[in-house]
Structure 1
Amino acid sequence: MFKINEVAKLVGVSVRTLHHYDEIDLFKPTEISEARYRFYSEEDLVRLQQILFFRELGFTLKEIKKIVQSPSYDQKEALQLQKKMLLEKREQVDNMLETVDKTIRELEGEIKMTQEERFFGFNKEWHKYEEEAKERWGEEVVDESHAKLEKLTINEQKDLANDGDIIFKKLGKLQEKGSEDEAVQLVIKEWYEFLNNNFGTYSLEAFEGLGQLYIMDERFTKNIDKYGNGVAQLMSEAMRVFANNN
């Protein structure tokens, strides 16, 4: 067991921070002595590592709490996601360092930068994985959708599955079209309305994030591509277009 000051020194946070995590029910000690001393187990430290990874990647404490306390939370999946985010972040830092070096060389009269080069590296694409984490573990819409499904009869659930199947089949017939095609966008609108009518309230941002999951998570891709090779990619791109246009 580890005392609170030992944990603080080990991970590089203040004792006050650990007290705060305890107060908001984010990270609590395994044991509190009669003298009110906090003691943490090795399992507690594994949990703290996860929290600090998410904190470092820009998640709020409220978001982290939703994620790590979700019934569907999986430590290995979380680490794989954090690795993706860190690799993307490292690439972004490398790109920005390259931009800084070029800017210095331009100021010294060695080169002339294009406008694209001047802003290379500022695109924080790694934040797309934040949406994946929220969608997978933290979004209230997930709980809401489960609650709605539980109220349906078996026949109603079958009807719902059939309605979704029809939409996928429509997209399967349009897989040669582009994501901005009018017919594709009409079906994507159907899909957006289908999700909002049956699985909770999806913002346009969450809808776009869900589309990213369709190509980032092989389980989604495999299931959707049963309706035609490339349908998952088409849906993902079309959902992004729909969100941006609306």
Structure 2
Amino acid sequence: MGDTAETGGLTVGQVSTRLGVTVRALHHWDGIGLARPSLRTAGGYRLYTAADLERLHRIVVYREIGLGLDRIRVVLDDSAADVPGALRAQRAQVAERIDRLRRLTAGLDRMIDAHERGPLLTAAQQAAIFGPDWDPDRTAQARQRYGDTAQWSQYAERSAARGPAEWQAVADAVAAFERALGDAMDAGVTPGSPAADHLVERHREVFAAYFPLTREMQVCLGRRFETEPGFAAHYDGIRPGLAGWFRRIIDASARARGVDPDTATWG
């Protein structure tokens, strides 16, 4: 095959390089009649003239702004086509897509922040919502301990979708549950009773604000409530002995549902 000077046109490969499109795309556009080369060599190879190249350039531009090939054909070949109108409509679609991507970017930024620091709240907001005794460093400690777990990812995803009002609702639900827990112990509710089982189920529902809690995971939490000083002090501060009683109602409910508290594991 000769060069451009000898043949009066550009080969498919040359056009592909010049316009930054694939040879396959050029063959496809030829096949559907969108952009056919005006010349052929003696051997039957496609050759594109300057006019062909101009049409191809317009196709590339229109395709880059999102027009489909059928719409491009109309814009190029229909003398009655409202080209400015078509471009304005496409511009509106591009603007909508940009706005959607901006919202997606903002959402991704929030999720990244939530993965790195938990609730997207200032220290003052956390104190107002979770109480003056709340330690903002607790979340960082939890991330260091659990940051590579599926539960932390679930917690972060929920955190990313919450503002102060949503977190206040979570805190209110937790506080109401803990009041009910203390009142039940005061009333002499026994582990394994319907009232105790109701509280155990309510705990799982409230805790789901952070991440889904299986019965086995709940048993593991119950152990920590009783044995870890921070948790035990929190619950025993509501009612003396509440941490141990809470664990007992969790264990009794688990046994009734075929979960052995002595062998339950997290996961």
Query: So what's the TM-score if we normalise by structure 2?
Result: 0.39
Structure with the bigger RCO (C-alpha within 8 Å, sep 6+) is: 1
Determine which structure has more spread, i.e. the larger CA radius of gyration.
2
Query: So what's the TM-score if we normalise by structure 1?
Result: 0.43
